[in-house]
Amino acid sequence: MSTPPTDAPHHTVTGGCRCGRVRFRGTTAGLKAVACACADCQRSSGTFVSVAVGLAAASFEVTAGHDDLGTFADTGESGQPVHRSFCRTCGSPLFARPASYDHIVSVRAVALDAPCTTRPIFSIFDENVPEWMHFDGVPSMDDDEASEAAETATASND
């Protein structure tokens, strides 16, 4: 499966965890990746930046491994709840369901079966990224700008 372009019509994507026990699928109107360096994403991903794509919540489903799927209830930078899901067997972080964007499921780009080669449409919380790591050519936004851009980017996925 190839990565759909950002302006593709609705396209089904699939993914899963490292050990293969948890599998999922959902639709997108084109992969729109976002790079987030908030403390929550850093801790849940184990790296400085988490790159995620938004899939339409209405189309998202876990297709295998329900018993292997763990979920951690967290509070995001917005102050709203975020449910972060992972594989209990291999520990792979897979997706999050932020209450502030309940129409999307934020899927870790690395959990998709087809490599996500789409450049992030924006990055947020860049002040948390070390000086040696930066995003050439990716607009940096503050929290308010990012919220507005995320709404626009995911609106076509409904």
Which tops the pLDDT comparison, 10 or 139?
10
Q: What is the pLDDT of residue 1?
A: 37
Shortest CA distance to 31 belongs to which of 54, 15, 14? 54
Instruction: Supply φ then ψ for residue 19, to 5 degrees.
Output: -85, -10
Given pLDDT bands bounded at 50, 70 and 90, which one contains residue 2?
very low
| Res 117 pLDDT > 60 | yes
Q: Report pLDDT digits (tens) over 57-72.
A: 999 999 999 999 999 9
Q: What is the pLDDT of residue 144?
A: 62
Residue 115 CA to residue 63 CA, distance in Å, equals 20
Which tops the pLDDT comparison, 21 or 44?
21
Q: What is the CATH number of domain 11-136?
A: 2.170.150.70
Q: What is the mean pLDDT of residues 107-117?
A: 87
Residue 12 CA to residue 26 CA, distance in Å, equals 6
Q: What is the pLDDT of residue 44?
A: 83
Lowest mean pLDDT among 30-34, 36-40, 123-127, 149-153: 149-153
Looking at mean pLDDT, say which of 38-47, 56-65, 120-129 comes out highest.
56-65
Tokens of 138: 């990716």
Residue 16 CA to residue 82 CA, distance in Å, equals 20
Q: What is the pLDDT of residue 155?
A: 54
| Res 17 pLDDT > 80 | yes
Spell out where the chain has E strands.
11-16, 23-28, 33-36, 50-56, 61-64, 69-75, 81-87, 93-98, 104-108, 122-124, 140-141
Q: What is the mean pLDDT of residues 152-156?
A: 53
Q: Please check whether residue 104 is in contact with residue 95, taking contact to mean a CB–CB distance below 8 angstroms.
A: no
